[in-house]
Amino acid sequence: MPRSLEIEMNSFPIAGTFTISRGAKTSAEVITCVLTENGRRGWGECVPYRRYGETMESVAAQIEAARPLIEQGISTEDLLRAMPPGAARNAVDCAIWDLEAKLGGQGVAERLGLASPQPLTTAYTISLGEPEVMAAQAREHSARTLLKVKVGTGDDESRIRAVREAAPDSIIMLDANEGWPEETLTHHLRISAEMKIALVEQPLPAGKDEMLACIERPILVCADESVHHTGDLASLRDRYDAINIKLDKTGGLTEALGMKREAQRLGFQIMLGCMVGTSLAMAPAVLLAQDAEFVDLDGALLLARDREPGLRYTASLVFPPEKELWG
């Protein structure tokens, strides 16, 4: 039978509210691309992101426009040229990887040369809020090895200090989501270093981050919104020490593999990150993250309801996906 495509729109409630510097959300709105061929099903998930001009409708329309190529059996390499980076290509690319693994009888891990992928220490995200609220969240999760703390206001010193006091033994990363004003940047970096923060992510807005090349950086600074695909890397070497690879930005696992290799060649440290989505969105990234310095794949942990079956999370670890989920 020929390959067929289904496009599904799904909503998964978040446990509570997830807040960053740009706003809050109470559900993860995702698009699932399902490919079927010869009785086998492959699937991939993406999270449309308004920060990049994406909506559920626009991403579904992108996938629909590519339907003829997808159902003709386009390869993941050809897909790179047929669709632009972003959420739509991610869902299609990951679905092709999954389907071809099932048709070929060789898992994605094996195709990537990962004979025995290992569980990874993943961050757990603390939402942006008042210092005492964030401290309470951090204290609740202080047994975790790695915390990612959302910041991004003009005065985050009290938040940084409160979270560090509440979780004295955790490795802490900060994510400013482009929210620090230039005039407070050096102050916040100094406080972060004093509080033994491991890394700060995207402190300045994308396209307005030249200042990072002109100041001393006492801790690692990681690009997120400033980096989407391999072509972005070379121009960021003077201002960032690490990059956050997210499949919804790169447009799938295929581009992310090449981007990771080039980033490592250029000397960047690697973070594997995610949007707030289900275990299906996290699964390909867990395989890609096997040798990353930082792993932030807790999207499914933030949900009140996940896919069944989902990824296995135990304490601070996320385990590689079972074949029933993906790959």
Using alpha carbons, select from 8, 47, 112 the residue that is nearest to residue 320.
Answer: 112
| Cα(297)–Cα(289) distance, integer angstroms | 9
3-state SS assignment for residue 14: strand
* Sequence-ordered strand ranges (E) for 68-170: 120-121, 124-126, 146-150
Q: Which residues are annotated as catalytic? A: 150, 246
Residue 6 structure tokens: 């289904």
What's the DSSP call for residue 232? G
3-state SS assignment for residue 133: helix
If phi > 0 it is left, if psi is from -120 to 50 it is alpha, else beta; for residue 313 that is beta
Q: Say if CB 84 and CB 251 are below 8 A apart.
A: yes
| Cα(327)–Cα(320) distance, integer angstroms | 10
CA–centroid distance for 323 within its chain: 21
| Cα(209)–Cα(123) distance, integer angstroms | 25
DSSP per position, 235-258: GGTTT-SEEEE-HHHHTSHHHHHH
If phi > 0 it is left, if psi is from -120 to 50 it is alpha, else beta; for residue 134 that is alpha
| Cα(134)–Cα(151) distance, integer angstroms | 10
| Cα(125)–Cα(8) distance, integer angstroms | 27
